[in-house]
A and B are shown apart, each in its own frame.
Chain A
Amino acid sequence: MLELTPKKLSDRSTLRINPIKTCQPVGAMYAALGVHQCMPHSHGSQGCCSFHRMFLTRHFKDPAIASSSSFTEGASVFGGGSNLKTAIKNIFDIYDPEIIAVHTTCLSETIGDDLNGYIQDAKVPEGKLVVHTNTPSYVGSHITGYYNMIAGFIKYLSEATGEKNGKLALFPGFVNPGDMREMKRLMKLMGTEFIMLPDTSGVLDAPMTGNYTMYPKGGTSIPDIRDLGNCELTLGLGELTSEFPADFLEKKCKVPYKTLPLPIGVENTDAFIMALNQFSKNEVPYEIEEERGQLMDILLDSHQYTNNKTVAIFGDPDTVLGMAQIALEMGMIPKYMVTGTPGAAFERKANALLEKFGVEGCTAKQSGDLFELHQWIKNDPVDLLIGGTHGKQVARAEDIPLVRVGFPVIDRYVHSYMPIVGYKGAIRLAELILNALMDRQDRDCEDEDLEMVM
Chain B
Amino acid sequence: MKNDNAILPERAKSIRFSECSGDGSGIKCESESVSGAVSQRACVYCGARVVLNPITDAFHIVHGPIGCASYTWDIRGSLSSGEEGYRNSYSTDLRETDVIFGGEKKLVAAIDEIMTLHEPKVIFIYATCIVGVIGDDIDAVCRNAESKYGIRVIPVKSPGFSGTKKTGYKMACNAIMSLVTPEFLPAKTLGVNILGDFNLAGEMWIIKNYLRQIGVEVVANITGDARVEDLKKAPSAQLNLVQCAGSMTYLAKQMEETFDIPFIKVSFFGVTDTSDSLMRIAYAVGDKEVIKRAKAFIEEEKNRVIPLLNKYKKNLEGKKAAIYVGGGFKAISLIRQFNEFGMNTVMVGTQTGSKDDYEVIQHLVDEDAVILDDANPAELEAFMKEMGADILVGGVKERPLAYKLGVAFCDHNHERKHPLAGYEGTLNFASEINLSMNSPVWETIAQGGNKNV
Contacts and interface: CB of A to CB of B under 8 A. Distances in A.
Q: How big is chain A's contact interface, by range? A: 35 or more
Given A3-B84, A18-B88, A209-B450, A138 B36 contact: no
Nearest to A107: B129
Contact of A10 (B93, B117, B399): B117
Nearest to B72: A51
Contacts of A16: 66, 69, 89-93
B41 A46 contact: yes
A208 interface: yes
Contacts, number: 253
B378 A4 contact: no
Contacts of A91: 36
A94 B96 CA distance: 37
Contact of B113 (A15, A58, A212): A15
Interface stretch (A22-30, A185-193, A226-234, A288-296): A22-30
A19 B70 contact: yes
Contacts of A72: 32, 161
Interface string A161-184: 000000000000000000000000
B191 interface: no
A208 B445 contact: yes
B39 A22 contact: no
A67 B113 contact: no
Q: Report which residue of B40, B87, B130 has the largest number of chain A beta carbons within 10 angstroms of its beta carbon.
A: B130
Interface string B368-398: 0000000001100100000000000000110
A4 B118 CA distance: 8
Contact of A63 (B6, B36, B377): B377
Contact of A47 (B87, B160, B400): B160
A338 interface: no
Contacts of A285: none
B159 A68 contact: no
B92 A90 contact: no
Given A50-B39, A87-B36, A137 B66 contact: yes
Interface residues of B, number: 81
Interface stretch (B43-51, B253-261, B286-294, B335-343): B43-51
Interface in A66-88: 66-73, 75-76, 83-84, 86-88
A443 interface: no
Nearest to B33: A70
Given A63-B397, A371-B88, A138 B113 contact: no
B450 A210 contact: yes
Interface in A107-121: 107, 110-111
A95 interface: yes
Interface of A: 1-4, 6, 10-19, 21-23, 25-26, 41, 44-55, 57-58, 60-63, 65-73, 75-76, 83-84, 86-91, 93-95, 105-107, 110-111, 136-139, 141, 206, 208-212, 214, 340, 371, 390, 393
23 contacts: A4-B118, A14-B106, A15-B90, A15-B109, A18-B73, A19-B93, A50-B46, A51-B42, A51-B68, A54-B396, A61-B400, A68-B35, A69-B36, A72-B161, A86-B35, A90-B35, A94-B36, A106-B67, A106-B94, A107-B130, A137-B67, A210-B451, A214-B378
